[in-house]
Structure 1
Amino acid sequence: MAKRRFGRVRQLSSGRWQARYAGPDNVDRPAPQTFDRKKDAETWLVQKEAEILAGDWLDPDAGKIVFLEYARSWIEERPNLRPRTVELYDYLFRLHLKPTFGARALADIKDAHVRRWRKDLLDNGVSAVTTAKAYRLLKAIFNTAVDDLLVRRNPCRIKGAGQEKSPERPVLTVAQVYALADAIEPRFRALVLLGTFGSLRWGELTGLRRRDVDLDAGTVRVERQLIRITGQGLVFTEPKSAAGKRTVVFPELIAQDLRAHIKDFAQDGDDGLIFVGPDDGPLWNSNFNRRFWGKALTDAGLAKIHFHDLRHTGNTLAANAGASIRELMDRMGHSSTRAAMIYQHGSHERQREVADRLDSLARGQLKSGSGTQRARKPKKAE
């Protein structure tokens, strides 16, 4: 009998057949399973040889690395991650990935495991948004594992599972914004107004210095933000993206409030912070919410909302005022159109205004006969 060109086949004492081959690394390996028939073992060897010749062969031992070890290295090796992103990845990994996948080998994590894990998260009360974030992190880790030739395919294959579908954020009226500004501690009145009409994030507001605000030009220059990082406290960092560095024009409506605030409450000097706490130090979001925000909402007769909803309100007002997508992107500090598009739906009042203008335009053209086609008169009944 002629010797096989690739691999070997032998019958075991159980009567089943075993296939073995030498991989590109010259390590002799058996097939992961035995076969009922000799022909099946030979077919498996033909397929394995084809993988090697096509350059598709994966070291079956490579995927034995434990997910816990690989995921930690993956996070540590990401270049240029912002501190808050690292903090988010650590949180998602520790709470939502490690308990299920931590002890498993990469190669042992299959599609069914991922589907069951995602369902368990949702069933146990983890929000849809957090679940989507955790799923995206898991998928990104496995994308790299595929590139590293540790696994053949990514087991995260649930369509739409990584998409966040956050509920619509509340939008305040201008009257409600001013009711809140009137109700809150006086030192935070300008914070509420600039957060709304400047569409600024909390960290961007608390990171502002005197030299960042030009009261005569009516502009605010955003160059940094003040954020809390676990284990480090409050830290000044650059904005979330390159587009986050921007100059925002604020309406004349709030100029006097800003001028009075800087005079009465801001730290001294060009580098002095604009918004500070009662102790004249950097403003902590947690302290602000606990001591001032909740009481102001109650006093203003408003439902529970987050400070970030002021930015959402400002973006909506800017869109309703006619800002284009490009202008919204510049104002918000975004480099993509996705977020700006949210505000293009407009309010009911804005839609009515547009419809009324369209009605007037159409009627005017019909009346003057400048339209391409006159409105057809209804036929009289014969």
Structure 2
Amino acid sequence: MPAKRRHFGRVRKLPSGRYQVRYPGPDGVLRPASTTFERKREADLWLSAKEAEIARGDWLDPEAGKVGLREYGESWIRERPKLRPKTVVLYEGLLRLHIAPALGKLTLTEVTTPRLRKWRRDLLDAGVGPVTVAKAYRLLRSILNTAVSDRLITKNPCEIPGAGLEKSPERPTATIEQVFTIAGAVPERYRVLVLLACFNSLRWGELAALARKHVDTVEGTVVVERSVVELPTAELVFGPPKSDASVRVVTLPMIFLPDVVRHLADFTGKGPEALLFVGPKGGPLRRSNFQDHWRKAIAEAGIPGLHFHDLRHTGNTWAAETGATLRDLMDRMGHSTTRAALIYLHKTAGRDRKIADALSKLVEDSRGTTAKDTAGVDDQGATDPAAGGTDGHADREGHAGGTTPDQ
């Protein structure tokens, strides 16, 4: 049956009894709908909706989204020249190892929310860590957000609640004695490396990039202005730190300033550009050359599961326990947002007891009384029932219910 003429598009009845729709795109090319319709009215409604979509400027070429996800993802990474080398390595690994094997052969238009839900579940079931899965999901979401901006797909199918959130397992912290045991167990040239990682909250890449010029032994400070990344090719690439906030000046605890001075004299070259930490043959610091020393040292300290980065975690925890403010922690850690610093403040909720004890001391000094003298008696001389007295009136504010932990 010939197609019936309309003011927009065409509808014709097929021998099967279903209705086929064709419509002109903004480029004048006549295109078929992606499906046929059981009733003519359904076909007419679809055409009307398509006409309105074109009039609004929301129309997308259905052929545009037929590029492969892997191909598009690789281009997405290449087209971001401002990514730091470490980030490029991370993204390429996530795409190659966790996204492309299951989804890489799909076109952009074939990537749907149900498929992504199954892909995520399969990764977790295969034993891929939740943190890695969350990173892969966030990368995929960013890639597909760009595909939406490029008008290749109409919407981003990454709509799984909470899939991009990382819930890292709690990492261990070392004691002061354990840190100094590790510092004493590694070769002497790495002693200060361990101390700075912990007490100055420095990352491995920041430590490996330090030069003599970055250490001020008069003021007792370390300037962090660059970092180094080791690529899979073993090439070392120097560049800016993790973020703008990571460019910072960190003050050394004076107790081990003599260690730093001795290290500069014994293991660092004379010029200002000489790397602070080098290997036995004078080459740049590499994880691969340090790992054996690290494993032996943490075994001697009795914490074989400790990662090098846990030294920074340990130091941050101690800094919070000293009473550092949120801003202090952010500056020392090199973070631009409050999220990580708040974690350490929450970990040190025990400081609230120290504050309460200090307030008690103020009262004792002011009134010449002790906690024992005032126990069970309020300001009016009435006995507090919570302290074992006989007054039957409950404290409406202080005993209305239990407390909840800080979330």
Q: Distance in 2 between matches of 1:366 and 1:15?
A: 96
Q: Aligned residue for 1:9?
A: 11
Mapped to 2, the partners of 1:85 and 1:267 lie a distance apart of 31
Give 1:86 shift.
Answer: 0.9
User: Are the structure 2 counterparts of residues 113 and 222 from structure 1 closer, same or farther at C-alpha, using a change threshold of 3 Å?
Assistant: same
Inter-CA distance 200–381: structure 2 relative to 1 (3 Å threshold)? closer
Question: Counterpart in 2 of 1:111?
Answer: 113
Match of 2:379 among 368, 371, 374: 374
- CA deviation after TM superposition for structure 1 residue 244, in Å: 1.5
Structure 1 residue 192 and structure 2 residue 198: aligned?
no
261-270 or 343-352, which deviates more: 343-352
1:93 alignment partner AA? L
Q: 2:25 aligns with which of 23, 26, 31?
A: 23
1:88 pairs with 2:90: yes
Residue equivalent to 2:346: 345
**Structure 1 residue 226: deviation in Å?**
2.3
- For 1:234-255, what per-residue CA distance to the aligned partner results, in whole angstroms no more than 9, with x for missing partners? 2222211122111110111111
Q: Is the 8 A contact 1:225 1:237 kept in 2?
A: yes
1:270 aligns with 2:272: yes
**1:313-342 Cα distance to aligned partner (Å, 9 max, x none):** 111111111111111111111111111111
How many Å separate the matches in 2 of 1:163 and 1:54?
35
Q: Are 2:124 and 1:122 aligned?
A: yes
Q: Give the conservation status (yes or no) of the 8 Å contact 2:320–2:348.
A: no
**Quick one: percent identity of the two aligned structures?**
53
Return the alpha-carbon distance in structure 2 between the equivalents of residues 112 and 57 of structure 1. Answer: 24
Distance 2:78 2:277 in 1: 34
1:297 match:
298
Structure 1 gaps of 5+ residues are none
TM superposition shift of 1:232: 5.1
- Secondary structure (helix, strand or coil) at the match of 1:52 reads helix
After the TM superposition, which of the residue ranges 110-119 and 315-324 deviates more from structure 2?
315-324
Question: In 2, distance between residues paired with 1:235 and 1:301?
Answer: 34
1:247 corresponds in structure 2 to 249
**Change in 2 beyond 3 A, CA 1:381/1:163:** closer
Which moved further from structure 2: 181-190 or 217-226? 181-190
TM-score, normalisation: structure 1 = 0.93
Provide the C-alpha distance between the structure 1 equivalents of 2:260 and 2:304, rounded to a whole number of angstroms: 26
- Would you say how many aligned residue pairs link Structure 1 and Structure 2? 377
1:140-192 deviation per Cα after TM superposition (whole angstroms, max 9, x unaligned): 11111111111111111011101111011211121221122222222211111
Residue of structure 1 in register with 2:312 after alignment: 311
Q: What residue number does 1:144 align with? A: 146
How far is 1:3 from its partner? 4.4
Partner SS state of residue 273, structure 2 = coil
Measured after TM superposition, the shift of residue 358 of structure 1 is 3.9
- Post-superposition offset of 1:46: 1.1
TM-score using structure 2 length: 0.87
2:171 corresponds to which residue?
169
**What is the CA distance between 1:362 and its match in structure 2?**
6.0
* C-alpha displacement of 1:366: 8.0
Residue 64 in 1 paired to residue 69 in 2?
no
Cα pair 1:366 1:374 within 8 Å, conserved: no
